[in-house]
Amino acid sequence: MTVYAKVIGTGGYLPEAIKTNEDISKTVDTSDEWIFERTGIKKRHIAADDETASSMAEIAAKQAIEAAAIDANDIDLIIVSTGTPDNVYPSTACLLQHRLGNKKAVAFDIQAACSGSVFSLDIATQYIKSGAAKTVLIVGAEICSRIVDWTDRGTCILFGDGAAAMLLQASEEAGVLSTHIHSDGGFEELLKCPNPQAASDKTAEQGYISMKGNEVFKVAVNTLGKIVDETLTANNLDKSAIDWLVPHQANSRIIAATAKKLKMSMEQVVLTLEEQGNTSSASVLLAFNTAVRDGRIQRGQVVLLEAFGAGFTWGSALIKY
């Protein structure tokens, strides 16, 4: 009997406060038109001072648990992907486990930057297929606004805050058809966020995101094109078999290039970045949750998730929802 990881529930959370392109243009030399033309972003949500990755993760996770109609104690494994954890340790996943009142799950964080949700989905799938776990909660939770230099026009326009969750459970019905993840650590200087606490010289670098946008763009487009081919080949599928593309919400031009590779119209692409910006590891799950809850993604449809992030890391997941 083939065991699949089946998606049984999703959830999402966006902070109440919003920072628009017009707001940013008051503090750096830019404009709404300039930002939107180059990124596709109009606004992004900003966490309140008392919000943390774990508090946002809790809201998203509880939505997923409610949607799946299970008890929090049914969860065997909790994986949180975040680049902005509450603490260096304990993990945000352990804090989330406590918030949910779960006493039995194994809980840990992973860090794969913007690819985090896809990496988490891959790990969850392997646990379920091996029989090591039956029900797995994955969460992407990010407070990017706290690691953005709001005087750097190249990065402050891109990022927003949010959290999203997905529950997966062992099933005989087709679910996650395949996952594909990759890393190449040779591109550190193109996209990074230093940890000033780990530096011997505490004045050397601040803990802000830095990015060489044009170089990142070129690698991302090329890499995501290749992983589309890899995913289709692994499943012996034609491009026409894909009902929905749910991409990492980083840049509208990168997304359009991936859709073109699949010969898909933009009507088949789930886009949230105009209203949310780049929420890093939360973005793919936020977009998936949005399309499930508004009725676009229906049971039985085939969905391709893909992401690219610092590391570089990149990955895809093909799901029969």
Considering the candidates 21, 94, 102, 114, report the single residue annotated as catalytic.
114
Considering the candidates 94, 248, 251, 289, report the single residue annotated as catalytic.
248
- Known catalytic residue: 114? yes
Considering the candidates 21, 102, 251, 278, report the single residue annotated as catalytic.
278
Distance CA 280, CA 278 (A): 5
Q: What share of the chain is helix, strand, coil (3-state, %, to 5)?
A: 40, 25, 35
One-letter amino acid for residue 257 of the chain: A
Q: Tell me how crowded residue 18 is: count the other CB atoms within 10 A of its CB.
A: 15
One-letter amino acid for residue 107 of the chain: A
Distance CA 319, CA 321 (A): 6
Best CA proximity match to 279, nearest among 124, 86, 147, 123: 147
Distance CA 174, CA 67 (A): 19
Per the listing, tokens 């988490």 go with 120
DSSP, res 304: E
| Paired tokens of 28 | 């750096």
- Known catalytic residue: 278? yes
Per the listing, tokens 């487009």 go with 221
Distance CA 304, CA 178 (A): 10
Residues serving a catalytic function are: 114, 248, 278
